[in-house]
Amino acid sequence: GDGRMGVVYNGSDWNFSSRIRVSFTASGTTDGGLEFGGSMRADQATAATNGTAASVYISGAFGKLSMGDVVGASEALFGDYYEVGYTDLSSMDGYGNDIMYLTGDNGGNVGKNVATMAATSTGSATTTFSVANTGPNLLYTGTFGAFSVAASMSDGKANSTDASQEYAIAGAYTFGNYTVGLGYEYLDGRFTGTSTDSSTTPPTVTVGTVDGKADMVTLAGVAQFGNTSVKAHIAHAGKDLDIDYYGIGASSVFGATTVGGYVQHAKFNGSNEDVTWYGLGAEYDLGGGATIKGGVADNDLTGSDMVADLGVKFSF
């Protein structure tokens, strides 16, 4: 296969561009000495090759530079909570064990997480926001002694049609079994806003372009106590957003058994609404890469039911 990463000037703007292709070649020889074979490239999957479902990297003493479908700086250092269930149960209105960062981890959709969070519902009117795919992100991570640093950005442009941009920096310090870190993410986004007023028949739908700015400060900590790992974060999203968001999760290993869970809470100060969600799961390692895993998850939103799963996971 082959990969590439760099910047392209298209006549008016510089854009990030990355691609990875996997080549399959196969061949054989008949008893009579004829050779046969074939080739195929997995580059037809457009998402994988335009940098939104794959990544390439180059690394050295300076750290590691990745381009493509990479996470933002904060997530690169702090990660998510313990994954509950064999399917991660994130189908529950999008609330799962992931920590919702402002930038990155979005397949090139700048502002995707915040667009979801910014949806509003007032009386008979609801407004949702969506974003255009804006191509590959760039992530730098480096570790220097006890310090880890990360920086990420999107060029915010897919063929120069989107003005959205995002940046993030994060740092972490590890001492013994404890790690603390701080991240700052900034988003200057252009969203497609769709407002629906269901008080009329048919509903009145208004579609427009909404420019918005947001930033997020995330303070996170991880501690290891014997067989138990505890992670917590507290974050605030500001500018056009006003969200207080925190969570805590833990997992413990008892021989082949691991149990874990999390609880997260977000307060949307603008609409004075809030949501709490949590999950609890366990897994048993069968060895060789097979694990029995299950979990339950729920949130306190009206009309939302508990979800659960139980299955076998394989790692090859």
Q: Which of residues 77-136 bind its own copies (CB under 8 A)?
A: 85-87, 89, 91
- 77 in helix, strand or coil? helix
Yes or no: say if 182 and 219 are a contact pair by the CB < 8 Å rule.
yes
Task: Convert 117-163 into a string of H (helix), E (strand) and C (coil).
Answer: HCCEEECCEEEEEECCCCCCEEEEEEEECCEEEEEEEECCCCCCCCC
Does residue 12 touch its own copies according to CB under 8 A? yes
Binders in 260-289 for its own copies, by CB under 8 A: 286-289
Please report whether residue 255 would count as binding its own copies according to CB under 8 A: no
Size of the site for its own copies (CB under 8 A): 73
Query: DSSP label at 47?
Result: H
For its own copies, the binding residues in 51-70 under the rule CB under 8 A are: 53-61, 68
And the tokens for 70? 């990479």
**Contacts (Cβ under 8 Å, ≥6 apart) of 110:** 103, 131, 134, 154, 156, 162, 164, 165, 166, 187, 189
Residue 48 near its own copies by CB under 8 A: yes
- Residues 68 and 52: beta-carbon distance below 8 Å: yes
Between 146 and 312, whose beta carbon lies closer to its own copies? Answer: 312
Tell me whether residue 153 or residue 235 sits nearer to its own copies (CB atom): 153
Q: How far is the CB of 95 from its own copies (least distance, A)?
A: 13
Mention every residue, 6+ apart, whose C-beta is less than 8 A from residue 153: 137, 138, 165, 166, 167, 168
Kindly state whether residue 254 participates in binding its own copies, applying the rule CB under 8 A: no
Closest separation between CB of residue 31 and its own copies, Å?
Answer: 3
Give yes or no for a contact between 279 and 84, defined as CB atoms under 8 angstroms apart.
Answer: yes
Residues 22 to 41: which contact its own copies by CB under 8 A?
Answer: 22, 24, 26-41
Give the one residue of 3, 63, 79, 221 binding its own copies; rule: CB under 8 A.
Answer: 3
Among 212, 213, 218, 310, CA closest to 264: 218
Q: Token pair for residue 37?
A: 């074979």
Nearest-angstrom CA–CA distance, 277 and 257: 24
**Interacting span for its own copies (CB under 8 A) from 72-80, 184-192, 195-203, 305-313:** 305-313
CB of 248 to its own copies, least distance (A): 25
Nearest CB to its own copies, comparing residues 61 and 123: 61
Taking contact as CB under 8 A, which single stretch among the options 20-28, 120-128, 148-156, 166-174 is the one that binds its own copies? 20-28
User: Considering beta carbons, is residue 150 or 169 the nearer one to its own copies?
Assistant: 150
Name which of 49 and 195 has its Cβ closer to its own copies.
Answer: 49
Beta carbon of residue 39, minimum distance to its own copies (angstroms, whole number) = 6
Q: How many CB atoms lie within 10 A of CB 211?
A: 11
Single out the segment in contact with its own copies by CB under 8 A; choices: 15-23, 75-83, 145-153, 160-168: 15-23
- 13 binds its own copies, rule: CB under 8 A: no
